[in-house]
Amino acid sequence: MNLVLLHSHIGVFQLLLLLIMLLSIVLFVLAIISVISNNFKNNDKLIWVLVILLVPFFGPILYFIIGRKTRIKKA
DSSP-assigned states of every residue in 13-55: HHHHHHHHHHHHHHHHHHHHHHHHHSEESTTHHHHHHHHHHHS
Residue 6 has pLDDT above 60, yes or no: no
Indicate the number of domains in the chain: 1
Residue 41 lies in a domain: yes
Name which of 33, 26, 34 is nearest 57 in CA terms. 26
Residue 51 lies in a domain: yes
Q: Which domain holds residue 60?
A: 9-72
- In this structure, how many other beta carbons lie within 10 angstroms of the beta carbon of residue 48? 26
Residue 22 lies in a domain: yes
Residue 3 lies in a domain: no
pLDDT at 43: 86
Residue 20 has pLDDT above 80, yes or no: yes
Report d(CA 23, CA 10) in Å as an integer: 19
pLDDT in tens, 40-74: 888 889 999 999 999 988 999 999 999 888 777 76
pTM: 0.76
Residue 4 lies in a domain: no
